[in-house]
Amino acid sequence: MTRSQFLVAGAALAIPAIAAEPTAAEKANLALVADFCAAFGTRDMAKIASFLDVNCSYRVTETSMPAVGTAALDRIKSYVERSSQINFQILDSWARGPMVINERIDSFTRSDGSPAYHLVGVFFIRDGKIAEWTDYAIRPRA
């Protein structure tokens, strides 16, 4: 077989990847994270906290230290209290086992301005609760 024949044969075998249908557990995890993100629009800390494991680890960005348990709730509460409106717009979301990853635009209306952040959130789900949450800022391409 020549190199050209090999490459043509390889191209014929190239089949586009098709994502597997999410399992029932993955669908539940996707719904949990979507509902959690929607809860920020209510600004109700009890509702927001109901999605989190009591020892949840939360990192605002990949460069920050994680806050755990009540410290995580306090950090989240500080954003909620400073904002008169909050919207987490999920652009894309997928799950693999206990991990949920979503791309979002988080918008906050505050007296000092209305910042919006383009993020990728990584959530680890354990026993139906968010056990770990880290956001990664998406920087505009140069």
For the chain, domains (ranges, CATH) are: 22-137 (3.10.450.50)
The larger pLDDT score, comparing residue 63 to residue 104, is at: 104
Query: Each residue of 84-140: pLDDT tens digit?
Result: 999 999 999 999 999 999 999 999 999 888 989 999 999 999 999 999 999 999 876
- Between the CA atoms of 22, 24, 29 and 33, what dihedral angle is there, to the nearest 10 degrees? 80
* Average pLDDT taken over every residue of the chain: 89
Position with higher pLDDT, 75 vs 12? 75
> Does 141 have pLDDT greater than 60?
no
Is residue 51 within 8 Å of residue 34, measured between CB atoms? no
How much of the chain, in percent, has pLDDT values that exceed 70? Answer: 85
Whether residue 113 contacts residue 84, with contact meaning beta carbons closer than 8 Å, is answered with: no
pLDDT at 20: 78
CB proximity list for 118: less than 8 A, separation 6 or greater? 103, 104, 105, 137, 138
Residue 65 pLDDT > 60, yes or no? yes
Q: Phi first, then psi: give them for residue 116, nearest 5 degrees.
A: -130, 145
Residue 139 near residue 62, CB atoms below 8 Å: no
- pLDDT over 80 at 7, yes or no: no
- Sign, Cα dihedral of 63, 67, 73, 78: negative
> What pTM value is reported for the model?
0.84
Q: How far apart are CA 18 and CA 131, in angstroms?
A: 29
Does the pLDDT of residue 27 top 80, yes or no?
yes
